[in-house]
Structure 1
Amino acid sequence: MTIDGVKQALSFDELVQSSERRLLRLGLMLTGGVHSAEDLVQTVFARAHRKWARISALDHPEAYLRTMVVNEFLSWRRLRRYGEVPVAETADQPSGEDISARQAQRDAAWRILSGLPRQQRAVLVLRYYEDLPDSEIAEVLGVTPGTVRSNASRGLETLRNKLPAEEEH
């Protein structure tokens, strides 16, 4: 934030308030579950708080937090250790419409997406949900843009091959 051309650093609380919802949505897309996304983002905020003096000096601390969320997701062993499998969560209140087919499609998509290797899944989420270009995805993941493109290609090919036959019509 700037005041009269002078950069004013956000406080940690201000950054949490301004970025929490976006990071939770990113976490949800990566993990597939609200509770797992909350755990992921909370872990990142706890680590960011310890490094706040360094993070607050950055030009774009929000982008740094996004990178932390993706990296934490990629290295998270808790999901495997406890046998958790990310699944789409159903709405808390019925909408009055018959949503069984839509929910079945959503569940199938989450199952297929959750079956991808973490790197491919992260690339697809950053590309199609966060709408980042390959160069930024490469920077977030610490890989080359060519690796991003090959992961995206492999991930999309897997998704295409696993789509239910009735989805293709």
Structure 2
Amino acid sequence: MTALFDACYEPLRRLASHLPQGSQAGISAPRDLVMSAFRAAIENWERVGTWDLERQRRWLWAVCRNQRTDELRRQGRARAVSSQVRMLYEVPAAPPEQAVLARLALDKCAAVIRGMPPKRREVARMAWLLLMPRDEIAEVLGMSAGSVRVHLSHARKALEHEVGPHLPFPLDGERSGRADDDGAERRGA
């Protein structure tokens, strides 16, 4: 094995330096590629040790090429998967004017809610910020579910009147188990 290493290491390293490199991430340096080939030779020495020097050299070179090919294939798959993940999960940035309008609308909503009577403000906060169901809000605030519904209806109308179509979040379908705020509960009662 020592004679094989002495005879083949440097020529194989020079050859390996001419193999395609891809983008450097995940690609072995030429010396590492050659050392991996020698490690494979040691692991397979019972077979490789019976060959002449030329066949051993060709086999080591084939191992180097195959390892680089595997690295390049893995790198290509990683790039493909990475681009697919980006396409599926990256949220496109909103145009600047849309971001500014959303921020202004949100500021206006906060101002409208701050200007509401304290009970209505608390009901709106619990429903829209804390996402509490109406029956829990009623229990926590010590009021009937109907009062909670009325407070939310007035809060919603105030926001729709002041902010209009620029509301940055939906006002219907709070987490009450129903999508319709204005009639389903009364009809069911």
TM-score category (smaller protein): 0.3 to 0.5
TM (normalized to structure 1)?
0.37
Greater gyration radius = 2
The one of the two structures with greater contact order (alpha-carbon pairs below 8 A, sep at least 6) is 1
Q: TM-score, normalised by structure 2?
A: 0.34
